[in-house]
Every structure is written in structure tokens, then in C-alpha cells.
Structure 1
Amino acid sequence: MSPDRNKTEQRRPDWAALAVAVVLAAIAAVIFIDVSRLKGTGGYSQVGPATVPDWIGFALIGLAIWTVIEAFRGDFPTRDKQEIGPVVWIVAGLVAQMLLLRVAGFSIATGVLFGLTAAGFGKRKLWITIPLGIVVCLFIWLIFAGLLQLALPAGPLERLFW
């Protein structure tokens, strides 16, 4: 490879990093739009319900600008090849949780998510990870519903205990 060609390749922006910068800026824009409805509720104080979301929005804008600069400088490390299998396991777990949440309740739905996410990380023994996830999530449900009085979706398993 010639030295001139190598310089040309190095000057090319990192398109994935630019896409990340656009997403960061879009999230910041959504935050600013949403916060604009809260500006008048601060009352006499300078600190109100819009203060922290404003900080987060400005931080995201700063990160977006920084990401654009780094994308043009080419300082990002080379990325590994994306493995599709683990992503599919985790997305399947999220879909299963959304579909099961109202029918089976929090513990079972989130336990299935736990098991499928563990499979995405390489622990493919679903007969162990799903029941373990259900037990852990039932404990979490009991804490949130019982002690904190928060309303989480209850299924047949939760009705046995509450």
C-alpha cells in the first residue's frame, strides 16, 4: 500500500462514530423539547424540575461534539466484529418479557429475560438460568411491591406470595 493511500484512509471520518454523535444530539434535542414544558414550574427558585434534565442535555451535546471531533481525527480504536448471536438472544429476552409481563407477571417475564440474556453471554443452560432468574425476580418483586408499595405487574406466582 502506498503512503499516499494510507494518509487518505486515515483522513476518512469514522461513520459509525458520526452516527453515534447524531443519536446523542437527537436524544439531547428530545430532552430539551420535553424540558421546555417544565420551565415555568420552577417558581421563585433558580433550581427546579428542569435543572437536571438541562444539565443532562448539555452533557449529551458536549459528548456529541466530542464524538464528532474524534470521528474526524480517527482516534477511535478498531472495533471487533459484531457477533449477531448474543444480540439475538438478548433481544429475544426483551421481546419475551414484553409479551409475558401482563400474562405471566413480573417474576416469570423478567426471569425469562434473565435466562435469555445469560444465554447471550454464553450460559446456555436455560433449565438453570430461567428458574434462577424467576426466583431472583420474585424476591425483587416482593421488595418493590411489599416494602416500597410500588405496583409491578403481578402474575400467578406473585399471587401465591401476596
Structure 2
Amino acid sequence: MGRRTHIVVSLLSPDWREDMPAAAALGRRAVRAALKGAALEGAALAGLASGDAPIELSLVLADDGLVHRLNRQYRGIDRPTNVLSFGSLSAEPAAPADMPVMLGDVVLARETVIAEAAMQGKALADHFSHLVVHGVLHLLGYDHEHAGEAEMMEALEVSVLAKLGIANPYSMEVDPGSPAHV
């Protein structure tokens, strides 16, 4: 990918340091992999500002309390979830080529991410990386509301994660009705 990428990691829950000391580095690695995977897919990044404008996004390492409040306020769902994405892209004309392209924010809930990894028998770092990739793909316009979209998004996630050395997270049985489902 020819674009520079600036990733701001905000540690809003200091417990991330204890539970996953490498979270910031793993998060940056997963963001870059998702952007590269989407660029190879050809769809999402094509519509961004022309040229080699830098890409900026925020990765927020939060706790269940904050994610619960955000989920209630912005999605009308009164519980925490594992990851939320707040995109900044719009249909407005592209900014000048030298202006950064603001993708948005990916917010992760520490307690939910940890509980899911344990419940699903996954390494915490792998599950965390998957959720970061998932969140970034949402920022790029991918979704899973309909079966066709879900298949496309999941296939891209699996491809990106394979390049990171992470097994297919969808090969395990997960109850889609659980509040912790991606």
C-alpha cells in the first residue's frame, strides 16, 4: 500500500497494559493488515482521496462501561459489545491529495474481548487482532447485515488474518445470538 498510515492508540482503560501489554503494537499491525487486505481487494480504498494522501484512524482501548454507553447512545443497544466502529468517511468530495483521510475510530471493550477469547478458546492476541481487523473493515464500508455482505466481509477477514498467522475465527462454533458475537 502506497499510503502512509497514522494510527493513534488511546488507552482509556489502563488495565489493557496488564492484560495485554502489546495491545498497541498488535493493534497497529492489525490495522495495517486490514488496510492492505482491503486495498488488495480493490473496493474500499479506491474511493478515498486521490493520490497518496495519508490515512489516519484512532484505535481506542476502552472498557465495557464506555462501550456499553456508546452502544446504547449510538446503536440503541443497552449492553457492551466487543468492538464498535465510528466511520468518518462521507460522500463529500475528496479532500486535496495532501490532506489526511480520516477513517474514524475503532473502540474495543477490554472485559468483553477477554471474556470472548476465553469462552471461545482463542488466544487473546488473536481475538483482539481479529476484532481490530473487523472494526477497520467496517470503517472502510464493509458490513455483515445481509448474507452476501457477511460472506464477503468474513472472507476478507479470514484472508487478512491468515497473513498475520491467525487461524480462521469463523471455523469455530459461536452462538450468533450471544451478546458477544462479532
State the TM-score, normalized to the length of structure 1.
0.24
With a CA cutoff of 8 Å and minimum separation of 6, indicate the structure with the bigger relative contact order: 2
Structure ID, larger Rg: 1
Give the strand-richer structure, 1 or 2: 2
